[in-house]
Amino acid sequence: MDGSDKVRIGVIGAGGRGRLSRYVVTDNLGGVITALCDIDPEGFKSYADVCSPDVFKCADYRELLARQDVDAVFVSTPDSFHEEHAIAALKAGKHVYLEKPMAITISGCDRILKTAAKTGRKLYLGHNMRHMAFVQKLKQLVDEGAIGQVKAAWCRHFIAYGGDAYFKDWHADRALSTGLLLQKAAHDIDVLHWICGGYTKRVVAQGALAVYGDIQDRHAPSDPGDPTFRMENWPPLSQKQLNPVIDVEDLSHVLMAFDNGVLATYQQCHFTPDSWRNYVIIGTNGRIENLGEARVALWNTRTGYKAEGDVQFDCSPPGGSHGGADPKIVAEFMRYLREGGRTLTSPIAARNSVAAGCCATKSLRNGGRPYDVPAVPEDLARHFA
């Protein structure tokens, strides 16, 4: 804390997703940003209005972690750095906000959990979808028993910006991301686990590099790639300057058996014209579904085709990025730092979404073989419970 009792925040990976940390200041969440780290100095520009001009800046995260004027850090670097940066931060005595996915391997997640347990520092995971209004409505309806006992959950994930965002940089290289069933699906697997109240214990998956592998127009390996979304990048096969390495799938289908008996499916496609996630949850007394981000419908009477459902719920997103989820998750993180207590996300849940995503990726790359998802080691499960 500084003299005014504000939590002092450092950001590792300040450009890109790291800008989420700005809410600490813009929303008066009781923090001050005292240090920024990014290998690209362009990343510092977005902080001119929220930091003092002489805020500490560096390219090497170890310099930031060595500072006494940093109480907590946002780790928002690309996925392959999460394990190294989060563990170093915890060992340096900092509390950590770690972006999803927690790490790119199950063992990497378990090493982070172990370090958090050992150091006693707070570890908070950036699963911001749990703060989206429509996801919270789905969860609330299930918890209230609106559809009886949940038996099935399906998520269809349409990604119009797949070719722009995921096949032009590190995301496309399995050595840096494992695959998009982890990188992208970690969100949805986590949401399915949360809404249905279970964790995946067995997976089967199929997938393919169905479209982007056919594009030969690639940028140089030394170029980081330009993942900017552009309307004119359509249709998908007209994309140019893709990543030199593309060995992840752009189409994948997963079947998951949860430990509470719920059966779930997740489908991800990176070459659709539209972008949204559609969740359907079916219970013993009805079903619910989100119709875009602003509405959830409930069907609970016997009927023929009824597009609008029996009851509709308005869940218009509030202001702020990612359907208003980003300001809320940063507010929760800051409250957790100050007061502790329960949070909507949990390190164990984040680890279990990575575990399901990794096993699903292994399944689709091994002819759809089923895999059992390893449980969190008992001592860690006990600690975080």
- Candidate segments 1-9, 77-85, 113-121, 297-305, binder of ligand NAD by CB under 6 A: 77-85
* Binds ligand NAD by CB under 6 A, chosen from 6, 9, 10, 17: 17
Contacting range for ligand NAD; rule: CB under 6 A; set: 71-79, 198-206, 312-320, 354-362: 71-79
Q: In what order do the strands lie in the sheet with 263-269?
A: 311-314, 295-299, 286-290, 276-283, 150-158, 263-269, 251-258, 200-208, 371-372
CA atoms of 12 and 29, how far apart (whole Å): 19
CB of 233 to ligand NAD, least distance (A): 17
Say whether residue 174 binds ligand NAD (CB under 6 A).
no
Measured from the CB atom, the residue of 169 and 293 that comes closer to ligand NAD is: 169
Query: Is residue 142 involved in binding ligand NAD (CB under 6 A)?
Result: no
* Closest distance of CB 326 from ligand NAD, Å: 7
**Residue 157: CB partners within 8 Å, gap ≥ 6?**
184, 185, 188, 266, 267, 268, 269, 277, 278
Site string for ligand NAD, 286-305 (x = CB under 6 A): --------------------
b/e code 45-65 from CB counts within 10 Å (16+ = b): ebbeebbeeebbbbeebeebb
User: What is the chain's Cα-based Rg?
Assistant: 21
Contact between 63 and ligand NAD (CB under 6 A)?
A: no
DSSP string, 323-349: TTHHHHHHHHHHHHHHH----SS-HHH
Give the footprint of ligand NAD on residues 303-332 (CB under 6 A): 322
Shortest Cβ 213–ligand NAD spacing (Å): 21
Q: For residue 160, what are the β-bridge partners?
A: none
Distance (Å, whole) CA 72 – CA 123? 10
* Cβ-based nearer residue to ligand NAD, 166 or 313: 166
Nearer to ligand NAD by Cβ, of 12 and 296: the residue is 12
Residues 96-135 within binding reach of ligand NAD (CB under 6 A): 99-100, 126, 128
Nearer CB in complex with ligand NAD: 132/282:
132
Please, where are the H alpha helices in 276-315? Answer: none
Mention every residue, 6+ apart, whose C-beta is less than 8 A from residue 48: none
DSSP 375: P
Binding stretches for ligand NAD (CB under 6 A): 12-13, 15-18, 37-40, 43, 61, 76-79, 81, 99-100, 126, 128, 169, 322
